Structure 1
């Protein structure tokens, strides 16, 4: 990308849960997982609020 003078892009990963009553729990020290797992109804607002990508 640098060779062609292109800006770096971030890739955002989400785990989308389609069934509204599904509950997933994570260990307290896994905050990054908690922020990636969302219900499908929350996806539009998550993208509209300027989500900060998490880099591993």
Structure 2
């Protein structure tokens, strides 16, 4: 089973073109890129939201 990252808004970018063998690999990438954003620092209007799904 493989996994992919999708954007909630349905658009594609450099993250959505990748596939991962493990869910944790996709999660770790998102954590590396966005993990340091603190709720008080975030401008929620400018954040792109992602989800990790099974790649069928």
TM-score under structure 2 normalisation?
Answer: 0.27
Q: Which has a greater percent of strand?
A: 2
TM-score under structure 1 normalisation?
Answer: 0.27
